[in-house]
Amino acid sequence: MKNSKLFSHEIAQKAEQFGCLPEEWLTEIYQEKWFKLFVPKELGGLGLTLPETLKIEEKLAKLDGSLGWTVTLCAGAAWFVGFMNESLRNEIFPDEKLCLAGSGYVGGKADKIGDKYIISGSWTYASGALHATHLTANCEILEDGNALLDNKGKPLVNAFLLDRKDVEILDGWNYMGMIATGSHAFRCENLAVPLSRAFEILPEKAQLNAPVYQYPFLQFAETTLAANILGISNHLLELMEQSFWKRHEYRKYDKKHLDYFEKLLNKQRKKHNKIRKEFYKQVANSWAELEEKSKISKSQLRKVSQISRKLTQSCRNITSKLYPFSGLEAAKSHTELNRVWRDFNTVSQHALLIFPF
């Protein structure tokens, strides 16, 4: 983030045009190791904590929604390093241009036959798929054609690490925003992989000892997504304010209109800053509890989930209140304001953060 010009509107437009992150951004990502935010230093990563990472993801999302989201989802997939066995970690993660993309969707079946899994399926919304060296995929587990069940009687599900060369990317991201994330689907059929490519994403199954791998996946996902929504809304608020004052230059609003807008803006900014502060406070509390007790209480996890959802809802409300003051600039399809508005109203639809509870 040393060179802000690198993330200009012009380059962001180019990213939208091609539907993926441009080479300028990828070069910076590899140099800064943003795809390896959670990967241990000994494997070429940054080895950061969750609170440290959220601040970076918020800043990246403010620069560009697709940039922040792709880094967040790919770094999140690389967080799975903590649940993979040592030989797989050492084989895959030292690559300087490592990029894991993945899907939370259980879209496949993996049949254990001898010393291999035979995998077939298709998975949706793999952000960063076009840049990926590997993809992660959730599969129902079979053994010699027979479905396996967990201790609750439900289909047993494991995650798998697949090589990019072994899957087919399906062009399936046809939405108004977050276009440069390239969040395409992928599939494979009768793909044989070693047993070591399977892993379970549970704190008790972690293979590495760093606290970050003990952070429950649900709240890990909620907080990282919320940080992106926060960053994009920060950008959107700035652009909407700029657009209003630009309109004022030729419309010459009278004093009562200017006073109304300024009071509204200040009120919404205070709300925004307050809930941002509370979000980071609850994450910090959960992290401190994890470091001190090696576990986070259910009550604290509920607070993290609640504030992530509340933050998302607040960002929706605040931006919607200020949006009308942007004028038609917000509706012009090639303006920065329109792009950020489209990104915000796409990413804030994520199913994980729709409900405020």
pLDDT along the chain (357 residues), means of 10: 79 94 97 98 98 98 98 98 96 97 94 98 96 97 96 94 97 92 96 97 94 97 98 98 94 95 97 98 98 97 97 96 93 94 95 84
- The DSSP bridge pattern shows strands 157-163 and 168-170 to be unpaired
Distance, in Å, from the CA atom of 268 to the CA atom of 242, rounded to the nearest integer, reads 15
* CATH topology for the 215-353 domain: Butyryl-CoA Dehydrogenase, subunit A; domain 3 (1.20.140)
Helices and strands, number each (H, E), in the chain: 9, 8
| Amino acid letter, residue 182 | G
Residue 296's pLDDT is: 98
Q: Classify 4-83 by CATH class.
A: mainly alpha
Taking every pair of Cα atoms in the chain, the longest distance, rounded to a whole number of angstroms, is 78
Q: Is the pTM of this model over 0.85?
A: yes
Residue 84's pLDDT is: 97
Domain boundary assignment for the chain: 4-83, 100-202, 215-353
DSSP 353: G
**C-alpha atoms less than 13 angstroms from C-alpha of 142 in its C-beta half-sphere:** 12
Contacts of 338 (CB under 8 A, 6+ apart): 329, 330, 331, 332
Residue 4's pLDDT is: 66
Distance, in Å, from the CA atom of 345 to the CA atom of 45, rounded to the nearest integer, reads 32
CA angle 239, 241, 243 (to 5 degrees): 70
Q: Classify 100-202 by CATH class.
A: mainly beta
Residue 138 structure tokens: 């959730």
